[in-house]
Amino acid sequence: MDHDNEKKYFELFALKILKEYQNLEMEKFIQAEKPDWQDLDSSIGIEITRNSVGTKFWSDLEKVKKPIIDIEEFNRRFKKNGGTIIPIEQARIIFNDKDIKDGFGFNDNYFYIIPSYNDDFSEINRIINKKLKKLNNNYKEMIDNRLFVFSPIYANEEMIKNELQSIVNIQEGMERKFDIVYVCLLNKLIVFNIKEDSWKCIKMDREIFDKLSLEASEEIKS
């Protein structure tokens, strides 16, 4: 998938997620630039972006054919490329989630972690700050401004709660602000509602998540 189609894929995938889990009226939005999606009737703009650190690693993983026959060889190459692999039982203890599964679907016995990602919101906050500056300089005037960020970090409740205040602090003193920031963490959608000073974490069904991803990919190809 080339860069333009990859960008379109993530933009469409994000909107499909919001339709499924936030009852967003997807049909009202037109695809544009600055921001990426615009509902002109309701004056809602949604900018879509993602944590680009490790993009090549993601790209290489997309080429992996499943099911993986030689899992030991795959694990060896995964580690050689900087990834981390831990037994699934250990992952459930670390993340305090007895139902946690490998989000990539490589193998049920292991939990795979992409390299070069810090499990904190520092990179996401850098992205928010960067997009906020653009929002105040050359984005279309909207009443309701939103930002959707794809990121592979793992965050617990305390981290998410603290992030709400971090977003408020980042936007302090800015004329235009993001009213809602969505952060998609593999199988979770975190919704930071800045106006209401609230957040919620929605656990997405893996099958639905994969179906929406496939739909977006197929629609981009057609």
- Residues of the chain above pLDDT 70, percent: 92
Reduced 3-state DSSP string for 169-190? HHHCCCCCCCCEEEEEECCEEE
Fold for the domain defined by 3-53+119-221: Trna Endonuclease; Chain: A, domain 1 (3.40.1350)
What are the backbone angles phi and psi of residue 29, rounded to the nearest 5°? -95, 140
Averaged pLDDT for residues 198-221: 92
What digits encode the pLDDT tens for the residues 45-80? Answer: 999 998 765 555 666 776 788 888 899 999 998 888
pTM: 0.74
Residue ranges per domain, the chain?
3-53+119-221, 55-113
- Name the more confident of 129 and 155: 129
User: Helix 157-171 to helix 122-138 angle, to the nearest 10 degrees?
Assistant: 30
What digits encode the pLDDT tens for the residues 79-115? Answer: 887 788 999 999 888 878 888 888 778 899 999 887 7
Respond yes or no on whether the N-terminal peptide bond of residue 67 is cis (omega within 30° of 0): yes
Q: According to the model, what pLDDT value does residue 5 have?
A: 85
The tokens for 194 are 């800045």
Averaged pLDDT for residues 169-190: 94
